[in-house]
Amino acid sequence: MRYLIPWRRQAPSEVHSPMNRAFDALLGSFPGFPTELSALVNGDGPRIDVRESADAVHVEAELPGVDENDVELSLHEGMLVLKGEKKVESKQDHTGWHQIERAYGSFQRVIGLPTEVDAAKVEATFEKGVLRVRLPKSAPARPSVQKIAIKSGR
């Protein structure tokens, strides 16, 4: 029975390669729509990590190949909006290429914040393709810890 199902005998990469080539051929047939945009067409944005500490929310985004001047950050109704563009370094001739996976073009990522933040104190740094954003919590959002003395019952 398993011989009747041809794709079970092939490795996953052997099945996906013809489909990927067909997709790239279709997209490449439209003028002005290079196949490098396939990651953006699929809705992929930068990979992020979001972590919350006692006093802030920390966001890290991987942006390899993106210049810091091409990145824009904003806060909007409890969300951090990350926009940017990865520009093509040079016009390249695509003849002779066997595979193109790098994506170019605009991207956007909207990150819902788990708590209220103080917008005036937000800090962002960009180093080696990683954007780090520190969003300090607003005063009411910070947990207040008050120690309570325990008295002996004797």
**CA–CA dist 35, 25 (Å, integer):** 8
Tell me, yes or no, if the pTM score tops 0.75. no
Which class does domain 36-90+99-139 fall in?
Answer: mainly beta
pLDDT of residue 5: 52
Domain ranges of the chain: 1-33, 36-90+99-139
- Mean pLDDT score of the chain: 76
Q: Closest by alpha carbon to 19, among 34, 38, 32, 1?
A: 38
What does the block give as tokens for 145? Answer: 């810890």
Query: pLDDT tens for residues 40-76?
Result: 444 457 899 999 999 999 999 999 888 889 999 999 8
pLDDT of residue 33: 46
